[in-house]
Structure 1
Amino acid sequence: MKQHLTVVDHPLVQHKLTLMREKDTSTASFRQLLREISHLLAYEVTHELPVTTKHIETPMCPMDAPVIEGKKLVLVSILRAGNGLLDGILELVPAARVGFVGLYRDEETLKPVQYYFKVPKNLEDRTVILVDPMLATGNSSAAAVDLMKEAGARDIRFLCLLAAPEGVARMKEAHPDVPIITAALDDHLNEKGYIVPGLGDAGDRMYGTK
């Protein structure tokens, strides 16, 4: 089975993540850094995609050259903060199909509640990459994977910017078959469910809503 947690420790990833963590980084810079770091994380999450060959003609001679095999990738954003990672990955994989999952946390039960769900068809034949910058408690992420599996997805990967140990454990318990790719495994969650040291609320910092 694939490794459940992969931390991408590439120097460029870590450098850009440090800039994103700084509280004085502007909204515009934060958005740009998120787009740049998503390119680098996309290399990691896609490096095991199946490859076949295609017969082509170069200016010099014919050859059998490698191409990605199978149906197009599906990228699914957990709204709203997931859109920042989604935009960057789409620049690398522009032919990918795109889906969206909308979840909010019920303040009384603390359980995720679905308010939007729209994904491509034929998920059982496609690799699905679910994206959300923060894996905190893991409840929303686990619920999103539940929805994807109900929709037919069998090959799912979860891509995030930061993960907390609590969220990784929750995902491993609920979905041990879904590998997690992240730029950092942080220390813990505080009493409000924020990742520490973290970078605050990714959605608010990305869209300037705080």
Structure 2
Amino acid sequence: MFDTAYAESRYRVPEIPHRYGPGVHLLDDPFAWTLLTRACSPETGQPDMGRLVRMLYENLARVVLAAEFPRARVDVPTRMAAAHPEAVYRGLALSRTTKAVTVGIARAGTMPSQVVFELMNEVLDPALVRQDHLFMSRQTNEAGTVIGATWHDAKIGRDVGDRYVLFPDPMGATGSSMVSAVSYYKNSLEGTPAKCIAMHLIVTPEYIRRVHAEHPDVAIYALRLDRGLSEPAVLRTEPGTRADEEKGLNDRQYIVPGAGGVGEILNNAWV
């Protein structure tokens, strides 16, 4: 017998209200906010930082996979089937035949991508899960303003056809690196991705504007929106209401309130 309670999924991502459009998902998650507050504290270093970021990305990845990945009907006997032939779970689960890629953008995104890779291997067919690696850095002008992203090296599988491509990068600041990475996966590899999904701990309004101006089909997931340099009147509005007046980056394109150099702290490397 099939239990109709599990015939369809009613899962919805818990989100704070905003007006950035349906492609932006700002999570309403006090548990994650608590961990993220600790991760942003100037008193937090290794090994605490690594442990916190791992927990945050395990949580974020579960949300993204549950919301975005295809589902399939399963019929799986349980251990009770030896005594009760009807002991079979018949319902929905994530489709194990989903093809996926997680992209580690060095250096802050290296560990988050590994976390996502390990989690996807648990719920999908591991033969269909891949991890790519990009090495890039901010490109700045003489005034220190970010003007793009410079690629240094990459280890990338050629095929992206019908794959869900995930970009777990903690800080969504200017959007330059993400725009460059998504453009490459869309235009320079074999096949067309099923969907590109950006996964962040923190994003700025500037990031959302830049990424969706270049790639409006990218799904953006974040645990927190930082617009701390906006005027008080703007901060009193629902995010996205006065989007052009929202500001989360200082003159050197660092996020405020932000978290400082996450890549530096995760790697204990201050260069």
Task: Give the TM-score normalised by structure 2.
Answer: 0.72
1-structure distance, mates of 2:27, 2:251: 27
CA distance in 1, matches of 2:89, 2:111: 38
**How much has 1:116 moved relative to structure 2?**
2.0
Structural mapping, 1:38-53, within 5 Å: 38-47=57-66, 48-53=68-73
Residue from 220, 224, 233 that aligns with 1:184? 224
- Shifted more, 172-181 versus 42-51: the winner is 42-51
Which has more radius of gyration?
2
Runs of 4+ in 1 over 6 A off after TM superposition: none
1:63, 1:46 → 2: CA distance? 21
Residue aligning to 1:126:
163
Post-superposition shift, 1:97? 1.1
Other structure's SS at 1:159 match: strand
Corresponding residue for 2:94?
68
Moved more, 137-146 or 88-97: 88-97
**AA matched with 1:137:** T
CA RMSD of aligned residues (A): 1.8
What one-letter code is carried by the residue in structure 2 that aligns with 1:169?
R
Does residue 162 of structure 1 match 2:222?
no
Give the structure, 1 or 2, with the largest relative contact order (CA under 8 Å, sep 6 or more): 1
Amino acid paired to 1:194: Y
Give the drift of 1:163: 0.5
What is the distance in 2 between the residues matched to 1:30 and 1:22? 10
Q: Superposition pairs for residues 93-108 of structure 1, below 5 Å?
A: 93-94=120-121, 95=126, 96-108=129-141
Would you say the 8 A contact 1:20–1:33 is kept in 2? yes
1:83 counterpart = 2:104: no
In 1: Cα distance, 2:262 partner to 2:118 partner: 20
Report the CA distance shift for 1:122/1:68 in structure 2 as closer, same or farther (over 3 A): farther
Asked if 1 retains the 8 angstrom alpha-carbon contact of 2:74 and 2:91, the reply is yes
The answer as to whether partners of 1:52 and 1:68 remain within 8 angstroms in 2 is yes
**Which residue identity lines up with residue 260 of structure 2 in the other structure?**
G
**Distance (whole Å) between structure 1 residues aligned to residue 75 and residue 216 of structure 2:** 38
1:146-157 correspondence runs (5 A): 146-150=183-187, 151=189, 152-157=192-197
Report if the CA contact (8 A) 1:54-1:64 is conserved: yes
Contact 1:39 1:88 in 2 (8 A): yes
Please say if residues 202 and 258 of structure 2, whose CA atoms lie closer than 8 Å, have aligned partners that are also in contact: yes
Gaps of 5+ in 1: none
Match of residue 76 from structure 2: 56
TM-score w.r.t. length of structure 1: 0.91
For 2:28, the equivalent position in structure 1 comes to: 9
Equivalent residue, structure 2, for 1:114: 151
The separation in 1 between residues aligned to 2:38 and 2:136, in whole angstroms, is: 28
> The residue matched to 2:140 in structure 1 has which SS?
coil
